[in-house]
Amino acid sequence: MLQVWTAIGLLVFYLANSVTSLENGLARTPPMGWLAWERFRCNTDCKNDPENCISENLFRTMADIVVSEGYAAAGYEYVNVDDCWLEKERNQYGQLVADKTRFPRGMRSLSDYIHSKGLKFGIYEDYGNYTCAGYPGVLGYLQTDADTFASWDVDYVKLDGCYAHPSEMDQGYPEFGFHLNRTGRPMIYSCSWPVYQIYAGMQPNFTSIIQHCNVWRNFDDIQDSWASVESIIDYYGNNQDVIVPNAGPGHWNDPDMLIIGNFGLSYEQSKTQMAIWAILAAPLLMSVDLRTIRPEYKAILQNRKIIAVDQDPLGIQGRRIYKHKGIEIWSRPITPLYQNYFSYAIAFVNRRTDGTPSDVAVTLKELGLTSPTGYRVDDLYEDVDYGVLSPQTKIKVKVNPSGVVILRADVQSDYNRRVPYYSTTQKSPYNPLNQVFRVRNNGF
């Protein structure tokens, strides 16, 4: 008798076939939270702009809103400080000191406040002499700074790579990670190690990166523009054969922050970023002013159906499986499984700008969805239930310019009694990953 696999069984199946990860027990799904950098940058002018400067008041306010406006309930749990929180000099004991004017109560007090809200606290530093904005880096103080972060009850450490030699990162990043783990304080470790080596023309050692980091950057910093988001989507699609195998529970590729609700993306483009980040199994770190965000953008960020795709326990990063004349299709295997068939999240992306929606029609079989039991298909933005469809069913979607349609197709366990499916060409055992992850350059 056929049996549906449990979520635990699926994880065992996948992890047994994946690269060993950093086993600090953290980031089993991509981290979610709020991060200051893209929206607030290095604004230190609290005299003239007290509401928007990098200060303890900003982070306390955002923590309050993350809880009161439903973001925490949707899964966003980290409130992360980025650059420009420091004094320009360490104290007499060589320890990092928060800016005394903008963080008068210190970082332990801020950490305690964020924890009192049921949230987690993240902080920023740099593996170099200085941070990118010119504040003290960790170089020469690795153990001291790791101990300091632990004493502040930090939960998430982002380590940048300015003012450091990329050739020294293979040793330096693991060394700092060792000191973090040695404190006994569980801290997600977010690295910028690969991107600086890529910039320097080096080939990153992803086997080592996976073993020492929970999260890492591969590409450019995101900017508040659709062009920036498109460049990241292209990078991940064009380099997916190298990038995708490195992702999994405990270790994630990071395409950078969500800029939804700021100035540079339209409503359709914002929906596209959220959908593609979910397909990529990306950390969901909002960088937006939560005090002024419009309701329609808040709804995108809190779309629990898309968040569930991002947080799928299998942790398999999706791929671009089709690209032709401005139309792209991205696919991600997700739970539940039945026999050896995955469920899928499928994103249809319209990269055209010709001003009219584009129709895309394709059968489930052409997408690699070939279970004879069929799939229950739902539109995750429009709340449309297509019902249970067979692999031969042709589905047609209308995708707005620079927009997306994202569907979830859950494999069924007993639909085969009503929908016969016979394959006359499939001679070898079905492998869903091989079937769906074929890049197609022509129309269906």
Are 300 and 333 part of one and the same domain?
Answer: no
| pLDDT cut 90: percent of the chain above it | 87
Instruction: Judge whether 431 lies within some domain.
Output: yes
What pLDDT, on a 0 to 100 scale, did the predictor assign at position 4?
A: 36
Instruction: Judge whether 7 lies within some domain.
Output: no
Three-state DSSP state, 112:
helix
Q: What is the mean pLDDT of the chain?
A: 91
Are 291 and 360 part of one and the same domain?
Answer: no
Instruction: Judge whether 358 lies within some domain.
Output: yes
User: Domain holding 116: CATH number?
Assistant: 3.20.20.70
pLDDT in tens, 6-41: 333 444 334 333 333 356 899 999 999 999 999 999
- 28 secondary structure, DSSP code: S
Are 268 and 416 part of one and the same domain?
Answer: no
Provide the residue range defining the domain that includes 42. Answer: 19-310
Q: Report whether 327 contacts 401 (CB < 8 A).
A: no
What pLDDT, on a 0 to 100 scale, did the predictor assign at position 440?
A: 39
Considering its fold, how many domains does the chain have in total?
2
Confidence of residue 290 (pLDDT cuts 50, 70, 90): very high
What pLDDT, on a 0 to 100 scale, did the predictor assign at position 435?
A: 42
Q: Report whether 64 contacts 112 (CB < 8 A).
A: no
Instruction: Judge whether 419 lies within some domain.
Output: yes
Whether pLDDT at 211 is above 50: yes
Whether pLDDT at 255 is above 60: yes
Whether pLDDT at 223 is above 90: yes
Cis peptide bond prior to 336, omega within 30° of 0: yes
Are 304 and 323 part of one and the same domain?
Answer: no
Whether pLDDT at 424 is above 50: no
What pLDDT, on a 0 to 100 scale, did the predictor assign at position 429?
A: 38
User: Domain holding 373: CATH number?
Assistant: 2.60.40.1180
Q: Report whether 248 contacts 15 (CB < 8 A).
A: yes
Instruction: Judge whether 380 lies within some domain.
Output: yes
Are 147 and 194 part of one and the same domain?
Answer: yes
Instruction: Judge whether 10 lies within some domain.
Output: no
| pLDDT cut 70: percent of the chain above it | 88
Give the chain's radius of gyration (CA, Å): 23
Residue that finishes a domain, picked among 254, 283, 310: 310
Whether pLDDT at 5 is above 90: no
Return the residue matching tokens 């692999």: 391
Separate counts of helices (H) and strands (E) for the chain: 15, 16
What pLDDT, on a 0 to 100 scale, did the predictor assign at position 23?
A: 64
Are 235 and 331 part of one and the same domain?
Answer: no
Are 365 and 252 part of one and the same domain?
Answer: no
Catalytic residue ranges: 160, 221
Are 353 and 270 part of one and the same domain?
Answer: no
User: What average pLDDT score do residues 383-397 get?
Assistant: 96
Are 293 and 368 part of one and the same domain?
Answer: no
Q: Report whether 303 contacts 380 (CB < 8 A).
A: yes
Residue that finishes a domain, picked among 285, 310, 335: 310
What pLDDT, on a 0 to 100 scale, did the predictor assign at position 383?
A: 85
Confidence of residue 416 (pLDDT cuts 50, 70, 90): very low
Return the residue matching tokens 């609700």: 261
What pLDDT, on a 0 to 100 scale, did the predictor assign at position 100?
A: 98
Instruction: Judge whether 443 lies within some domain.
Output: no
pTM (two decimals)? 0.90
Q: Report whether 215 contacts 252 (CB < 8 A).
A: yes
pLDDT in tens, 257-279: 999 999 999 999 999 999 999 99
Are 268 and 241 part of one and the same domain?
Answer: yes
Region for residue 163 given its phi and psi (left: phi exceeds 0; alpha: psi -120 to 50; beta: otherwise): left
Are 323 and 298 part of one and the same domain?
Answer: no
What pLDDT, on a 0 to 100 scale, did the predictor assign at position 277?
A: 99
Are 322 and 415 part of one and the same domain?
Answer: yes
Instruction: Judge whether 322 lies within some domain.
Output: yes
pLDDT in tens, 97-156: 999 999 999 999 999 999 999 999 999 999 999 999 999 999 999 999 999 999 999 999
Residue that finishes a domain, picked among 255, 282, 310: 310
User: What average pLDDT score do residues 165-189 get?
Assistant: 97
